[in-house]
Amino acid sequence: MLAKLLSCAILLFSAVSLAAAPAPDGFVLIKGGTFNMGSPANEDWRVNDETLHKVKVSDFYLGKYEVTQKLYREVTGENPSSFKGDDLPVENITWLEAAHFCNKLSERDGRTPVYAIDGDAVSWNREANGYRLPTEAEWEYAARGGTTTPFYTKKAPGADDVNFYGHYPYQIEQNYFNDEVLETRPGVYRGNTLPVGKFKPNPFGLYDIYGNVGEWCFDFYGDYGVSAGSTSVTVDPAGKPSGTRRVHRGGGWNDFGKNLRSAYRGAMQQSSKSYNVGLRLAMNAGAGVKGTFVTQEAAGFKGEKAQAASNPKGSSHALIVFYSWSGNTRGVAREIKKQTGFDMVELELVKPYSDDYNTVLKQAQNDQHKQARPALKKKPDAKKWVDYETIIIGYPNWWASIPMPIATLLESYDFTGKRILPFCSHGGGRFGQSITAIAKLAPNAKIGEGLSVHYSGGSSLSKDVAKWLEKNGVKTK
């Protein structure tokens, strides 16, 4: 019955202005207002999904700190985090787990739970006084702290200000060989989360709004539904009525400076998790929005178990396709083929990148900067494509994302209903934001658990690949 009520529609509403009570312990009262959400066309490293538009948000409360492992364990009895410590932020939780946690904490504290969850369908009672995830608009408004620059600070944050991949501050990519010109220089890379509240708060009194862990927001990921230059004002938006990815914001301990920007949008399936993503709690200020519900439902995918069952040993229903520059990714791809017998295609470019390491670094960042789509000389057979149900995509982690030849692949083929299993070779950055990049470019594909391999993988490569394939339900020879 509930599933029928959770129609894929978002109801229009009007906010009721109410006087807010003093902020509850551990929360900050964020006074509402109108702001420019997104980024201007001249913001360096902006992404085309950051369309600048005016948004008005009502008063709300937001947690001073990211939710800690201690609190999460006390409420749920579990701690799935990759890095253990009571004062560390909880991470490695799905969006759905975050929503369930909000409800359980509300019940514990005598508040009315805000979410009704039925499988992939979620209804948000906007009148309820319980704990919830912030909307994407609320998060960005709070993160900016009244500013319009890429960060709430005039100077880009460094490793002394934020826990992130400190070797790569904002704008390092195009200045890698001459970082002395940067106002914010490279710093330490800690390689793990830190206890919450280690750094100075933003102008609204929020700690770790950038870095440490990314933070789940309520909204489905999608375009903002406004055109550039629009002067209309959107009031208290809560995202699209349906979708395949949920938004997370703020970047984490493993992200580059460009991905900490206030406007940057991360995206994952609501059933996926990452060592880099946790949550921060929000609450209504006052009685909430009268008589309104937001009902959303995740778009369905063919079940992973069903897909795995349809891929017998050596089946042509799966394809390994990869791009490799140094040969590390190629070695991983060959090991996957050895264990599965799947078809394999190595992407080749019409205009190959340079064989020189320093030159290819410049070429790679330049292509990413302008979001180029290099033409492919060798690519999958379009006639066979329809028969593949699982696409195993490999690439080197370049500048914390996918190489642009992979972007060309993702935009050149129809991934609707297919399952993507990503794997990457890296020098220390694991996946960076490459999974988000894939999720955005192939929104109608199911993304399974990824495999990140340090350089060539060493002596453990065979076992690591076998374990990864087993986790994803892929049969081997």
pLDDT at residue 8, as a whole number? 34
110 pLDDT exceeds 80?
Answer: yes
Model confidence at 301, pLDDT cuts 50, 70, 90, reads: low
Model confidence at 292, pLDDT cuts 50, 70, 90, reads: confident
CB atoms within 10 A of CB 243: 21
Helix, strand, coil content of the chain in percent (nearest 5): 25, 20, 55
Model confidence at 47, pLDDT cuts 50, 70, 90, reads: very high
d(CA 174, CA 367): 11
pLDDT at residue 289, as a whole number? 61
pLDDT at residue 9, as a whole number? 32
- Tell me the three state secondary structure of residue 233: strand
12 pLDDT exceeds 70?
Answer: no
Model confidence at 287, pLDDT cuts 50, 70, 90, reads: low
Instruction: List 235's β-bridge partners, or say none.
Output: 56
Model confidence at 291, pLDDT cuts 50, 70, 90, reads: low
Supply the DSSP string of 253-315, one letter for each residue: TT--GGGGSTT--EEE-TT---TTEE---EEESSS-STT-EEEEEEPP---HHHHHHT--TT-
What domains does the chain contain, in order, with CATH numbers?
1-300 (3.90.1580.10), 304-471 (3.40.50.360)
**Phi and psi at residue 425, in whole multiples of 5°?**
-105, 145
18 pLDDT exceeds 60?
Answer: no
d(CA 77, CA 387): 44
Model confidence at 231, pLDDT cuts 50, 70, 90, reads: confident
421 pLDDT exceeds 80?
Answer: yes
98 pLDDT exceeds 50?
Answer: yes
What's the average model confidence in pLDDT over 404-411?
Answer: 98
pLDDT at residue 398, as a whole number? 97
pTM score: 0.92
pLDDT at residue 175, as a whole number? 96
* Residue-wise pLDDT tens digits, 179-195: 999 999 999 999 999 99
pLDDT at residue 288, as a whole number? 60
Instruction: List 54's β-bridge partners, or say none.
Output: 36, 233
54 pLDDT exceeds 60?
Answer: yes
Residues contacting residue 30 through CB under 8 Å, at least 6 positions apart: 57, 59, 60, 61, 62, 138, 141, 142, 204, 285
385 pLDDT exceeds 60?
Answer: yes
| 42 token code pair | 């001249």
75 pLDDT exceeds 50?
Answer: yes
- Tell me the three state secondary structure of residue 241: coil
Answer yes or no: are the C-beta atoms of 337 and 370 closer than 8 Å: no
What's the average model confidence in pLDDT over 56-69?
Answer: 97
Mean pLDDT of the chain: 91
Query: Which percentage of the chain shows pLDDT scores above 70?
Result: 91
d(CA 7, CA 5): 6
Answer yes or no: are the C-beta atoms of 438 and 391 closer than 8 Å: no
4 pLDDT exceeds 70?
Answer: no
348 pLDDT exceeds 80?
Answer: yes
